[in-house]
């Protein structure tokens, strides 16, 4: 068998990871390289201008330079030849976006605009567009824009058009000089394939989840944009050229100049970009539809591919071809998971989780009456309301820190069950659960509670860098059946993310029947509490 | 001036305090003596029988023996002669009660019943009468008993008739053999004055607050008792002889046998008994009506004397002559105060309150969004619902232990404001605030918050043992104007609990106007939260 490798590139907030993996899922090398400028939140490079507190920028040259070092390092560590690499996949934080010229030059790297902070790429967590987001939501609600339904009735502060409108309102000259507005992931893929602006490969994932785009209806209408701001009316026609490709579809072949930078051969097929969390779906081995992939860390992103497109209120995004080609991707989320656990640990003055966990484990389901709403960072799905707050109730003088901790873990599980029931009620099947990310590996009690609350077994995927593996799978898909022998997406995922070597390390958590029965009624109490508070705060 | 002393005896849960004080409020001696048997919660004396977990008994001989040692010690320490003592006042925990024979012999000290646990005095905190309390409340509600209104619609688990019914149902022979059912405070005063059973001096305070008695209507009707249990129909006529006296009214004079035990002269006037917390009202110098005396410790009891009797829903007891003769005593309470603060301190792993307090002090009113319901031991006034539980809401990831602590202190203050507004809405004036008990001396931040939330100044009375001082004042009142020169109750209280020596040590806490304005709207939020939860749990 030939030494065929796929390259997955995972662009994070502080660094980029390059992963080389073969077509049987054997990891050959992985190298992480930090961005020289990291997150730019204090001072603008070059001028030293102090940035407002809600700013978070990145440097586009970092993406090229750091990925080049990472790829070269991975090739070296894998003792692989450049010719072994048969496909490239790219996942990126989102919505990280930037203004560029038609030839791909980021506006911030032009002489004229380098000193202007609004010309720089805005990182996903840039929060400068608060008022713009509110106005977009209000106007869309007033006009009953159809696309609003696909996002649970609310679009997010970190999304694509709020960030454009923020620039237009604060620095119109930057808006006027921009020839292409685009996602950073798309920009990077565009650089790799070196196409013209008209052929610019835009990811259906990023456009669908962050820019209100859909395969059927495109972007919001010029009428809507005009009502928002006259100058924005034709933003799509004038400043957003390109074509739409699903992750796993080929965006073109690696061009000579980027090949030279990365130390690869020109001509390698490159997949369209994908959001990093969404790349975790193939990366976790979710080859079948109706499988909820729970990517669990400081916050959680729960994603599902389905064969049919159904409106589900309160789901953060429903996108045809949003995660994998040919399926409808449903994205849901919980805004505070590991973050909330760590907050509680600090709140009760515990050094680590060991003592809390063993005591919480000894408690029965329901934490002896303590009930929690885990909205310490707002409620994402299904309320889509960042103003929601955390709640503990049912507390008596005999309760101890472990009661609060167990109640918090249970609230987190109830939150997922709410999402699952919502999907099922609306005709979106949820048949299997896969957990990935850092938390499932470190918190066995949490996974036991999740399995019993959900009433179904949970597969914990062992891969420590699922998004990079997902990107590599998408790269192999872009390379096509002639190169890989994979005739379907499911085949690629099974071969690369569910090989026997991985299956051996996979744990399956089963529900405890007695606990599951108790949680059926506790879950109803949680829902009752949630109803009380959604009314209070809205 | 003669060396005229009044003796206050304060019978607590573990010990009795004897206080000798002169008519100008100068403390001459105070001695505390523990009860040899303490609280009897594990094993019955004599037999060693293991007691049920909700049992709490006392030994009547302890009351005599320990008080004798305390009085003799106080006389010795004060270098006083027996003839210096001109009056005796007695305050007692309540409802601590017992069955006795007509000659005053406690049933548990008879040969026949010593081995029967139901013949022993039940301490106030004895919780064996749960089902009986529920049935009394249900029956009273069903029959729309008029007296129920005086107790906020619910009578308590620790009260007089639940404890009788518990004995009748569990050990009818004890019930049958009982010739007199009575409060322990009344029993002790009866022993002091040595009267016949028909002249037994029953306290209007204890009868009014714990036995559903009122000056106008007496006890509940035989019809009611009959519906509860046929054998109980004539309990009042058959087994509750005596006459009703307000605290401060003379119950008679010290008899020779008890005088010999206590080392005093026979013939000293003895006041009718009073509940220990209620003795704190005169003890804190509350000479005027319309003064809310906040007795603050692990829980709080807030008491007020008024000139008029108005029904106020949710007030724990409204009793004519309940605290002082000639006035209507209103008793309200909060079930967890210092207890709840200490619970939170343990919950957040703090060694003491110093660090928590200084950080909470630096926060603005409202604890940056955290709001609490302080029902960690149920809600006494005004909901009268022990099933209520503590709540924290408004929590975000940036909140720290001091936010929870400040929110808890504020909730405690809001709870008092609710009580004050309830009284005022129903036409019961509240014009002044006095704080007493342990907490006001130790928690300056709490008192600042209370003053701003209540929008009025709070006088912190310096006396460390207010109930014993209150009892001594009542003893002086029983001695009468000819002995003391006090022509009114207010005069006695002003002279003995507000002398210049005490005034110098009295602190007055004033509201902060800016904080008070902020608390006006925060209080409305608290009430909104309370409304949500009273609906959930009931």
Cβ separation A377–B396 shorter than 8 A: yes
* Token pair recorded at residue B397: 């990831």
Cβ separation B392–A392 shorter than 8 A: yes
Cα separation, A132 vs A168, whole angstroms: 10
pLDDT, tens only, A406-423:
999 999 999 999 999 999
Tell me if residue B90 falls in helix, strand or coil: strand
B391 and chain A in contact, CB less than 8 A:
yes
What percent of chain A is modeled with pLDDT above 90?
Answer: 90
H helix and E strand count, chain B: 20, 20
Contact yes or no for B130/B163 (Cβ under 8 A):
no
Q: What are phi and psi of A233, to 5 degrees?
A: -50, -50
- CA nearest to A177, candidates A242, A230, A94, A110: A110
| Test mutation, B397, B403, B530, chain A, max A CBs within 10 A | B397
Neighbour tally for B145: CB within 10 Å: 18
Neighbour tally for A216: CB within 10 Å: 7
Q: Quick one: CA dihedral A479, A482, A488, A494, positive or negative?
A: negative
- CA nearest to A248, candidates A280, A199, A282, A290: A282
Cα separation, B433 vs B302, whole angstroms: 10
Contact list, A393 vs chain B (CB under 8 Å): 389-393, 533
Cα separation, A329 vs A309, whole angstroms: 9
Contact yes or no for B434/B292 (Cβ under 8 A):
yes
* Token pair recorded at residue B332: 């309200």
Cα separation, B118 vs B115, whole angstroms: 9
Contact list, A369 vs chain B (CB under 8 Å): 389
CA A532 to chain centre: 30
Neighbour tally for B305: CB within 10 Å: 24
Q: CA-nearest residue of chain B to A376?
A: B396
Q: Count how many residues are written for chain A.
A: 538
Task: Return the pLDDT at B451.
Answer: 98
Across chain A, mean pLDDT equals 95
Higher pLDDT, A364 or A534: A364
Contact yes or no for A377/B396 (Cβ under 8 A):
yes
Q: What are phi and psi of B416, to 5 degrees?
A: -65, -40
Contact list, A349 vs chain B (CB under 8 Å): 348-350, 401
- CA nearest to B376, candidates B400, B348, B411: B411
Query: Which residues does A156 contact at the CB level (< 8 Å), separation at least 6?
Result: A133, A162, A210, A316
Query: Over 90: is that where the pLDDT of A154 sits?
Result: no
Matching residue, tokens 């320990």: B66
* Token pair recorded at residue B76: 């010795």
Cβ separation A336–B536 shorter than 8 A: no
Strands B180-183 vs B432-436: parallel, antiparallel or unpaired: unpaired
- Residues A229-266: b if buried by 16+ CB within 10 A, e if exposed: beebbebbeebbbbebbbbbbbbbbbbeebbebbbbbe
H helix and E strand count, chain A: 20, 20
Task: Return the pLDDT at B254.
Answer: 98
B177 and chain A in contact, CB less than 8 A:
no
Cα separation, A211 vs B387, whole angstroms: 50
Point out the residues of chain B with pLDDT beneath 70: 1-2, 535-538
pLDDT, tens only, B364-421:
999 999 999 999 989 999 998 888 999 999 999 999 999 999 999 999 999 999 999 9
Q: How far is CA A482 from CA A476, A478, A486, A487, in A?
A: 11, 11, 8, 9
Query: Over 60: is that where the pLDDT of A66 sits?
Result: yes
Query: Which residues does B446 contact at the CB level (< 8 Å), separation at least 6?
Result: B409, B412, B413, B439, B440
Task: Return the pLDDT at B538.
Answer: 40
Q: CA-nearest residue of chain B to A390?
A: B395
Tell me if residue B55 falls in helix, strand or coil: coil
H or E element that contains B7 = strand B5-11
Alpha helices in A251-300 (DSSP H): 256-262, 276-283
> Which of A349, A376, A396 is nearest residue B395 as measured by Cβ atoms?
A376
Query: Which residues does A530 contact at the CB level (< 8 Å), separation at least 6?
Result: A373, A418
* Token pair recorded at residue A301: 């992103």
Contact yes or no for B335/B379 (Cβ under 8 A):
yes
pLDDT, tens only, A168-224:
999 999 999 999 999 999 999 999 999 999 999 999 999 999 999 999 999 999 999
Task: Return the pLDDT at A438.
Answer: 84
- CA nearest to A403, candidates A444, A376, A372, A378: A372
Matching residue, tokens 């010029």: A222
Contact yes or no for A508/A457 (Cβ under 8 A):
yes
Matching residue, tokens 């006459």: B243
Matching residue, tokens 């004890």: B174
Query: Over 60: is that where the pLDDT of A273 sits?
Result: yes
Q: Count how many residues are written for chain B.
A: 538
B34 and chain A in contact, CB less than 8 A:
no
Cβ separation B392–A391 shorter than 8 A: yes
Q: DSSP string covering A207-253, please?
A: HHHHS--BTTTBSPPHHHHHHH-GGGTTHHHHH---EEE-BTSEEEE
Q: Residue B524: exposed, middle, or buried by beta-carbon count in 10 A (0-12, 13-18, 19+)?
A: exposed
Q: CA-nearest residue of chain B to A403?
A: B347
Query: Which residues does A535 contact at the CB level (< 8 Å), separation at least 6?
Result: none
Cα separation, A499 vs A415, whole angstroms: 32
Q: Quick one: CA dihedral A220, A223, A228, A231, positive or negative?
A: positive
Q: CA-nearest residue of chain A to B386?
A: A396
Cα separation, A367 vs A383, whole angstroms: 25
H or E element that contains B432 = strand B432-436
A392 and chain B in contact, CB less than 8 A:
yes
How many CA atoms within 13 Å lie on the side-chain side of B274?
A: 39
B527 and chain A in contact, CB less than 8 A:
no
Cα separation, B420 vs B292, whole angstroms: 9
Tell me if residue A17 falls in helix, strand or coil: strand
Cα separation, A277 vs A274, whole angstroms: 8
| Test mutation, B379, B396, B526, B527, chain A, max A CBs within 10 A | B396
B347 and chain A in contact, CB less than 8 A:
yes
Q: CA-nearest residue of chain A to B394?
A: A389
Tell me what the mean pLDDT of segment A48-74 comes to: 97
Q: Residue B375: exposed, middle, or buried by beta-carbon count in 10 A (0-12, 13-18, 19+)?
A: buried
Cβ separation A394–B396 shorter than 8 A: no
Neighbour tally for A437: CB within 10 Å: 26
Task: Return the pLDDT at B537.
Answer: 41
What percent of chain A is modeled with pLDDT above 70?
Answer: 99
Q: Residue A4: exposed, middle, or buried by beta-carbon count in 10 A (0-12, 13-18, 19+)?
A: middle
Contact yes or no for B404/B374 (Cβ under 8 A):
no
pLDDT, tens only, B157-184:
999 999 999 999 999 999 999 999 999 9
pLDDT, tens only, A445-462:
999 999 999 999 999 998
The torsion region of residue A430 among left (phi > 0), alpha (psi -120 to 50) and beta comes to beta
Q: DSSP string covering B234-263, please?
A: THHHHH---EEE-BTSEEEE--HHHHHHHT
Task: Return the pLDDT at B66.
Answer: 98
Cα separation, A274 vs A251, whole angstroms: 12
B355 and chain A in contact, CB less than 8 A:
no
Neighbour tally for B352: CB within 10 Å: 8
Tell me if residue B20 falls in helix, strand or coil: strand
Cα separation, A508 vs A470, whole angstroms: 21
Residue A3: pLDDT band by 50, 70, 90 thresholds? confident
* Token pair recorded at residue B158: 């620790």
């Amino acid at each position: 068998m030939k030494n065929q490798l796929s390259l997955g590139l995972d662009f994070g907030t502080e660094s980029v990871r390059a992963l080389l993996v073969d077509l049987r899922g054997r990891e050959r090398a992985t190298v992480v390289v930090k961005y020289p400028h990291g997150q730019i939140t204090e001072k603008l490079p070059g001028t030293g201008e102090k940035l407002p507190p809600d700013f978070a920028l990145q440097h586009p040259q970092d993406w090229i330079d750091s990925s080049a070092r990472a790829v070269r390092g991975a090739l070296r560590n894998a003792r692989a030849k450049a010719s072994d690499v048969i496909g490239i996949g790219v996942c990126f934080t989102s919505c990280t976006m930037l203004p560029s010229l038609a030839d791909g030059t980021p506006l911030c790297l032009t002489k004229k605009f380098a000193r202007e902070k609004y010309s720089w790429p805005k990182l996903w967590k840039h929060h400068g567009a608060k008022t713009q987001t509110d106005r977009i939501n209000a106007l869309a609600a007033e006009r009953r824009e159809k696309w609003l339904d696909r996002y649970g009735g609310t679009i997010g502060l970190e999304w694509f058009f709020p960030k454009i409108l923020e620039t237009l309102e604060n620095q119109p000259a930057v808006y006027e000089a921009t020839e292409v507005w685009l996602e950073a992931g798309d920009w990077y893929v565009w650089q790799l394939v070196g196409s013209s602006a008209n052929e610019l490969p835009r990811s259906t994932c990023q456009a669908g989840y962050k820019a209100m785009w859909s395969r059927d209806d495109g972007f919001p209408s010029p009428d809507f944009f005009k009502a928002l701001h006259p100058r924005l009316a034709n933003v799509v026609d004038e400043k957003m050229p390109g074509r739409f490709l699903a992750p796993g579809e080929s965006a073109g072949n690696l061009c000579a100049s980027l090949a030279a930078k990365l130390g690869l051969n020109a001509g390698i097929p490159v997949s369209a970009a994908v959001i990093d969390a969404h790349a975790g779906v193939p990366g976790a081995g979710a080859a079948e539809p109706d499988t909820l992939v729970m990517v669990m860390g400081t916050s959680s992103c729960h994603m599902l591919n389905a064969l049919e497109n159904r409106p589900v209120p309160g789901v953060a995004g429903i996108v045809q071809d949003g995660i994998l080609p040919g399926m409808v991707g449903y994205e849901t989320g919980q805004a505070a998971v590991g973050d909330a656990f760590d907050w509680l640990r600090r709140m009760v003055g515990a050094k680590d989780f060991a003592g809390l966990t063993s005591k919480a484990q000894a408690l029965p389901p329901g934490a002896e009456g303590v009930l929690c709403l885990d909205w310490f960072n707002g409620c994402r799905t299904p309320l889509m309301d960042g103003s929601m707050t955390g709640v503990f109730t049912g507390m008596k003088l005999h309760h101890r820190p472990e009661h609060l901790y167990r109640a918090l873990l249970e609230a987190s599980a109830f939150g997922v069950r709410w999402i699952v029931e919502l999907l099922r009620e609306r005709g979106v099947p949820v048949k299997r659960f896969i957990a990935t990310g850092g938390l499932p590996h470190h918190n066995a009690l949490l996974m036991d509670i999740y399995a019993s609350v959900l009433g179904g077994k949970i597969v914990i995927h062992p891969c420590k860098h699922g998004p990079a593996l997902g990107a590599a799978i998408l790269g192999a898909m872009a390379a096509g059946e002639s190169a890989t022998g994979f005739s379907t997406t499911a085949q690629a995922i099974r071969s690369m993310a569910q090989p026997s070597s991985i299956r051996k390390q996979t744990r399956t958590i089963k529900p405890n029947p007695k606990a599951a029965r108790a949680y059926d009624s506790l879950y109803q109490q949680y829902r009752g509490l949630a109803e009380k508070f959604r009314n209070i705060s809205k």
